[in-house]
Chains A and B, each alone.
Chain A
């Protein structure tokens, strides 16, 4: 199949202007509006890069953007979508080749939307993107997706400055999950109210859109294991290391230890490879977006430079249950999932507020799970899945709050906790997840 035929096949609206491709994904992600706004804003000449792990829904997001543009009257022949991972492509295809594949009816005087999926598979794409942005003057509205951060890094952060905005697409947030599960015409809050086990289903299945609708969480675990190991690790990383199996073992180890302070020496002792290899593999695994690190809070800037003890989390809590050897009912597993899911939502909040996230640990009894530092204030957030709050734990949290000099401290919990512990804000996990930003900033009002 030649390239033109593939491009035409991927852009059915060129032949039939009423054709839509994302109709079977009715729910829009929160990032959707941002993308659409960006493409429609002709004053903004920059491109948009959407980064996210495999299966997180990047393709759907881009196809929905195409549908929305067409629905708003965007000229069909001036909209090009291309998926560089199409298995019909036998020779490497450059972005330039795709751009040059004009359909009949293309109007060079009008703006053009270029939605390029899995761009890292296109040779020399960073150079092309730089030139396209510099020369296009905003006429070409470019959105690209990438599931490998290392390649983006190769493109050079400096090159990207002023040329493109990066957006991270993560697994579904709880609100997005609830929206997916809600009936038509039903609000997220209504869906949440009528489904007492909605959070538990979210915790059990994780946020990978392809899997969340499965009836049986066990099958989700099985599929995630196979998809993540087979594709994101064995296949994607195969070209970067001599043997990919030890990297897979390290990944599983880190997911099972999600939320723990990372020690390369510790991982080396448990798994066998030398510390240097472990450090390199960690970097590769972070590039898959499947693991996320959380730095230790540095009270002095100088400490931050040599911050040696990050915590490593599974990027999506679904990975924790998928790779754990423990049954889902196990409290330790639940506690890990709680922390991972809070971290996932806090990352959104931090991005929106322009804040920094870290964890605080002065000594063993002075710890706080998450610290959110914004220009205005320092928030401390402790997460617990415990059924009851013991006075001792609350005292430790207050002491940590004082040591951290936090402006406000929150206790995110999943239990039936009554009352407000003195000096702290107790926030049920469900309420926090439904509206993370408001539940944190709203308390300030």
Chain B
């Protein structure tokens, strides 16, 4: 009896991500949710720009590649065109919380019935390790070589905390994938975010605390530890908003 296997919603294309990059885990969780809900045939994923730009090669559902930051707007157009389809975006911290801030906020404010997967690893991986809006105070990156100085470049953006003030947002949860227990919780949250869309309950966003071993300059295993010890205290895990019961009524 097979206890664990690769989900159907993932293609056989080898992932290009660095060894130990948690994108792979998160891709799998999204694919598992799609499989378990039986929605692959009517799912459309919106890939963004960052390390995950080639997400369109990794999911078996129809995919659209969006410009940097614009995925929630593309998702809005796609969902309004075919409301029976399940539309999700998959975005990094620069895409969602820097250039795409307006699109993120307004998709949430409008209560667009979409699912947003937000991968937060506090750095810009694809372009070689620059500071992200979610980089921690003091964090050394290529564009904060002396550590993020809050006096000159301000403080990190806490997306779940920020979006929860919007009446249009239905479900916001922050999870992590730094150990097996957190991965299983992340899976539950991601599946719920897709289920919410299937039920027509509005806007769901799951923020996933992730790692970037290469640009953090550590082994994959140490990166999981760094996320646990530094990121999770700054970005506490948990449900930030759950209006699903109201929405269901």
Q: Tell me if chain B binds chain A.
A: no
Chain A residues within 8 Å of B, Cβ to Cβ: none
Listed in ascending order, the chain B residues whose CB lies under 8 Å from chain A are none
